[in-house]
Amino acid sequence: MVLVIPGYSHAERADRDQPIRMEADHVTVDDPNQTSLFEGNVRMQQGTLLIEGSSILIKQDKNGYNQMTATGNLCHFKQKQDNSNDYAEGFGERIEYDSFAETANIYGQARVKREGDDVRGEHIIYSTKTGVFQVFGSGQQTAEKPGQGRVTIVIQPKARKEETAPVPKPATAP
């Protein structure tokens, strides 16, 4: 399922030009392979982009783009929307963020919240560049838990612009 909700802002564009700040209990840096493994209550921040997990593996390509994989009981990402004060926020057992493609792949108990809307499934692909969601359920339902394994989406009503008729000018006396 692909979900496109018009009127949404995209991720904060200035984030990609900001330095990355990492916090963890332990880090292993492998310069020859351009990888770093951060472990223990990891927090990665780049501008308004925040990714948290039990561990985060970062791989950097030759052009300086990063692929980050956060794992943990429930990982978390949050990013401010461009030209707005709203944030997109996601949760999952594993979050893979690709800075070149500007996408977050969220796996296992995947959830994204944005402007009051709530999207849930087993796998969500969220483009921070375009604001497009792809949401996949596991398809594994049981009689004890009907609806489990399916995609669930709650879309809040958006304010509509009122159509107004032109106001006639008052007649003037001759």
pLDDT in tens, 109-149: 999 998 889 999 999 999 888 888 899 998 766 566 555 67
The domain spans of the chain are 2-154
First to last CA, the chain: 66
The CATH architecture that domain 2-154 belongs to is Sandwich (2.60)
- Give residues with Cβ within 8 angstroms of 85, minimum separation 6: none
> What confidence score (pLDDT) does residue 3 get?
45
Residue 26 to residue 39: CA distance in whole angstroms: 5
On whether the pTM is more than 0.85, the answer is: no
Residue 111 to residue 124: CA distance in whole angstroms: 7
pLDDT category at 168 given cuts 50, 70, 90 is: low
Q: For residue range 73-106, what is the model confidence (pLDDT) as tens digits? A: 999 999 988 778 889 999 999 999 999 999 999 9
Q: In this structure, what are the phi and psi dihedrals at residue 62, rounded to the nearest 5 degrees? A: -65, -20
3-state secondary structure of 163: coil
